[in-house]
Every structure is written in C-alpha cells, then in structure tokens.
Chain A
Amino acid sequence: MSLDRETVRRVAKLARIRVDEDRLDDLGRELNQIIDWVEQLGEVDTTDVPPMTSVEKHKLRWRADEVTDGGYPEKVTGNAPASDMNFFAVPKVVE
C-alpha cells in the first residue's frame, strides 16, 4: 500500500495540518517508508486473536455523574489566546 499525493493531502486535511503543495512529495515519501515497514505485521497469523483493548485485566471504573470541581471560569479561560467575559473567543464559525 502506498500513499499518493492525493492521499497525503486528504490525511493532512483530516489531521487539520496545513501542508503546502511543495511538501506533499517529501512528506509522502516519509510516510510511505513508515507504512511499508509496519506492513511486516501482515506476516503474523492473527486468526481468532482478540484485539487488545487494555493491558489491565479489570473493567474500566465508573464514577458518579457529579460535579467535583469548578466555579473558577477565569482560571479555565486564563490560558486562552483570546477570551471575553469568561468565554473563549474563537474565529467566526457561522456566516
């Protein structure tokens, strides 16, 4: 399997990373090198092998659906590149 220019462009779009046209070929080569290498896993017979979802044997713990923290919006928005009245200020989403 190899990634062509169009696939690299699509993956970059999905990953929300801007990739300039002149970098597509180089990046494609790098990604292909890695993908070709991981394809050796095809040699392993995994018929009837369950995929591992966790190394831990026990079930995921649940907690009560209760608020345990909060009440400090200025701390929450304190690191924002832009904020206004304790809200995150973001670029316009809807025209």
Chain B
Amino acid sequence: MTDLTDLTLAEARDGLTKGDFTSLEITEAYIKAIGTARPLNAFISETPEKAVEMAKASDARRRKGETGALEGVPLGIKDLFCTEGVLTTAASHILDGFHPPYESTVTRNLWDAGAVMLGKLNLDEFAMGSSNENSYYGPAVNPWAPEGDNRRYVPGGSSGGSAAAVSSHIVVAATGTDTGGSIRQPAAFTGIVGVKPTYGRCSRFGIVAFASSLDQAGPMARTVRDAAIMLKSMAGFDPKDSTSVDAAVPDFEAALDQDVRGLKIGIPAEYRVDGMPEEIGQLWARGEEMLRDAGAEIVPISLPHTKYALPTYYIVAPAEASSNLARYDGMRYGLRVPGEDLLDTYERTRAEGFGNEVQRRVMIGTYVLSAGYYDAYYRKAQQVRTLILRDFEQAFGKVDAILTPTTPTPSFAEGEKTGDPISMYLNDVFTVPASMAGLPGASVPVGLSKDGMPLGLQILSPAFDEMTLFRVAGALEQRAGYDARPSKWWVK
C-alpha cells in the first residue's frame, strides 16, 4: 500500500469514497508523520485524540451513507481560528489558556463537510509577520533549505505553520488567513498552492481579528485542485459576519476542466521592482511563456499606484489592529498581569502579553489615528486605497487575470531580516496591492531558485471571479510540472 501521506486531498477523498482505506487509517498515518516532524515546530497544539475521535465518527457516518465533500480528510487549522474547547492562541502570550466557547464559521463549515482536525498550526503573533519569527511559541521552520546549508530557513508568514505542515506532508491541507499576503507569501516560500479568495467570500466570524477590512481566510494545499475543493467547503454566506457576501459559491473544482485558450493575461509593468533578483524576473517570463503556450494572450498593463500599496497598508492595517487589539485588556480572557490600579494592570498586561512587532504596530496604529494626524495619515491612506482599486478596475477592463511574481525573493534564513522592519515588510510588496482592493489571488509553485528553494507566481482575478483564478492557476500548474519535494531532514 502506498504511503497515505503522499496522497493529494483529491486522491485521499477518492480513496476514502472507494473504500481503499478508512478515515481512521489516513488520520493515524498523519498523526505518525506529525510525530516525526517536531523540529519544524509547525503545530502549536497537536490534537491526536480529537482527530481519532473525529475520524471514527466520520467512518461511522460513511457506513450510514452520509458523506460530506471532505468526508474523513485530516486537516491542520491555523491557530487564528477559534475552535470550540480547543486552545486558541493567535501565537500570542496574551491569549494564554484561551479555550473558545464557540467555533469559527470557516472551521464549522469544514467539520460539517466531514473533515478531521489534526491540530492548531503555528503563525506570526496575531498574523503580523512575513517569516513566522514573531510567534510566542517559537518560529515554524521551512521544510526546505539549500543543500549543504545548515541554517534554518523561514516558511514565510503569517501562515508559516500551515505552509510548513502542508509542504512537509504532515497534514493533507490547511487553513490560512491572508491580510497582506499571509497565505500567498508562505505558499511561495514552501512550494505549495495558497489561495486568498475575494474579501467577503469566507466568513470572518471566529477568526481572531487583525485588520478587519483586509483579513480573509483561504486554503493552503499541495495542488490547485485541492485548494479548489477546500475553498468550496470553507466559503459561503454567514449572517454572523456583516461583511460576508451573500453570493452563490460555485464549484471551483469545475474550473479545472476549462483551459485558458482565449483568456487575456495582464503583465503589470510596475511589478518589475528595483533590486529584484534576476531569477524572479526569469521565473515570471517563464510563467508568461507557459500561459502563452496554453493559448492565453499576454497583454502588458499598468497599475500605476502599485508602489504606494505597501506604505498604504502599513497605515491601514496597524490602524485597524490598534482598534481590534484594544479588547486584550486582561479582564475577560487570557493573561492578566496585576498592577497598582486598573490602568496599570492594562498597561502591564499588554506590555508583557504582546510581542515586539505587535506593540510596534499597535503604537503606529494609535499614532496615525490620534488627534491631529488622522487626516494626514489614515484619511490619506484610504484615498490612495481608492486609487489602487481604480487601477485594478481599469486593468480588468482589458484583461481576465493578472500574472506577477508572488514574492521579490525566495525564503531567507532565520534572523536575516529581523532587525529591519521595512526590509521584512517588502516581502509582501506583490501581494499587498490585491489585498488593498479586496481581490482574490493565488500563489502557484513554478520552479526552484538557483539555491534550490521554491518560487511561486501569483495570479489575480476580478472580485468574485475565482473560477478564472483557478482556471489560470490550473493551467500554470500543469505547464510548470512542479513536483519537487523537500528532503525529509527532520526525520531522525
């Protein structure tokens, strides 16, 4: 029998349907794999007992003929999703011991579809970061490293644990969340597929909030098909989230039956940035070539406000974070550090409970929203955001989708960028503009860098047109034929 952890989600689903193996068997295979992969620090909480219990319940449902779209498939969940009764940390000290009394809508949807939870995956604290080095529980580690290089490489962030877990085959697929690139950037760094759907497609209810106008859940998986299957189950209207959009959820997997002949693919001039390594430009040109070979028409386009998206993001996101994170006051849940009076208790709790990056962003956000600065910073940023959206609207008048690199560089070694916040922020320079406009985006692994590290290309489509997104992603995946796997150095 083949190793069950080699199967894609689609293969696992089909094997379970045919009765080749049970949910308990595949779940136990993954629990064993997780046990060998602790050096990756991908999990904050492993929940093997719960997984076994859920797998047995799934097998029982199947015997009765009741099967969901993800029946019996074991998944990992980013520890930013509230899971009822299971420790939920957002990778922050301030949520010590928090066991939510409710379930996030996205995870509820996954369990309703029959999926099994293997545990809660590592991330940057409150999803703030691009390397997973900001976790209170320590960094998650990229399964990939250049050959002969003994340093540990970052899996990207904030969904770094999800990316590491999918890439190392210790979960079938995982949930991620993306505020400025937190699904797409780690997917690119670890050689997997990551999809951020349109803002409003997935409910944000029960996801620990970072920047509410940007946060969106999405799938991280080993193939485009797997991501399409998983997104179908995650998405859907939710009256509990006032920004959830009441739109029909199409069968994303069906998009893969269509090729890209006749589609117009835009190549934005402004994504060719100074200092970008040559290999990223070459990868991009190869992607263009692949889509042209597949029958698409390549069209040069311009998105003139691209360079302003990242600074706009670093006003808008911290502003929303400073407001969202005001709820962590040590009174109702999590850490409380006693002080001399109420105010002192708040201040001590938040100083000890929040890591450096979170404190930095909360303070930036407080500053740009404070009296006298609101118009100069926050209002200005919201105006530039309108211009970024208009750029995309104009471009999508001419093209069906847009192709760009996902990241300006491959993964880097731990500690390499920690001292310089702005150079760290630049990781998301290609993913942030679409986030500002609420558009869907996908990262697809296309090749390896000269050092043998994974590289991805990003596809963007108009709002609520994920069908085109998956169509182009599928064509790119097929042409790229990417099948590289990391050496299993973590298995002793």
Contacts and interface: CB of A to CB of B under 8 A. Distances in A.
Interface in B301-315: 305, 308, 311-312, 314-315
Contact of B364 (A19, A31, A52, A53): A31
Contacts of B312: 38, 41
B350 A35 contact: no
Interface string A31-56: 10111011011101010011111111
A11 to B, nearest CB: 5
B363 A27 contact: yes
B98 A16 contact: no
B244 to A, nearest CB: 9
Interface string B330-341: 111111101101
B213 A31 contact: no
B367 A3 contact: yes
A56 B243 contact: yes
Interface stretch (B225-233, B385-393, B408-416, B480-488): B385-393
B292 interface: no
A17 interface: yes
B53 to A, nearest CB: 21
Contacts of A14: 366, 370
B384 interface: yes
A51 B243 contact: no
B379 A51 contact: yes
Contact of A38 (B98, B311, B382, B389): B311
* Interface size, A (range): 35 or more
A93 B376 CA distance: 36
A93 B386 CA distance: 43
B277 interface: no
B207 interface: no
B213 A55 contact: yes
Contact of B370 (A1, A11, A34, A55): A11
Contact of A16 (B308, B346, B389): B346
Contacts of A77: 332
Contacts of B382: 51-53
Contacts of B351: 17-19
Nearest to A62: B242
Given A38-B315, A41-B311, A52-B385, A31 B360 contact: yes
A50 B380 CA distance: 10
B421 A34 contact: yes
B152 interface: no
A34 B367 CA distance: 12
B101 A91 contact: no
Given A16-B346, A49-B387, A79-B332, A56 B200 contact: yes
Contacts of A91: 338-339, 341-342, 345
Interface in B136-152: none
B379 A52 contact: no
B438 interface: yes
Interface string B352-385: 0010000110111011001000001101111111
A55 B360 CA distance: 26
B343 A16 contact: yes
B331 to A, nearest CB: 5
A81 B330 contact: yes
Contact of B98 (A34, A72, A79, A93): A79
B61 interface: no
A90 interface: yes
A80 B333 contact: yes
Given A49-B383, A55-B389, A16 B422 contact: no
B350 A17 contact: yes
Given A19-B351, A78-B101, A63 B387 contact: no
Given A30-B360, A55-B213, A46 B334 contact: no
A52 B197 CA distance: 20
A93 B387 CA distance: 46
Nearest to B346: A16
Contact of A17 (B101, B347, B377, B386): B347
Nearest to A72: B101
A76 B386 contact: no
Interface string B201-229: 00000000000010000000000000000
Nearest to B244: A61
Nearest to A77: B332
Interface string B425-456: 00000000000011000000000000000000
Interface of A: 1, 3, 7-8, 11-12, 14-19, 27, 30-31, 33-35, 37-38, 40-42, 44, 46, 49-56, 58, 60-61, 63, 72, 75-82, 88, 90-93
9 pairs of A and B residues whose beta carbons are closest in the complex? A55-B438, A51-B382, A79-B333, A81-B336, A18-B347, A46-B383, A18-B351, A75-B101, A52-B385
Given A37-B311, A55-B389, 19 more contacts: A3-B367, A15-B350, A19-B351, A37-B314, A38-B377, A40-B308, A41-B384, A44-B308, A44-B383, A46-B380, A52-B382, A54-B243, A55-B463, A56-B200, A60-B242, A78-B99, A80-B333, A81-B333, A91-B341
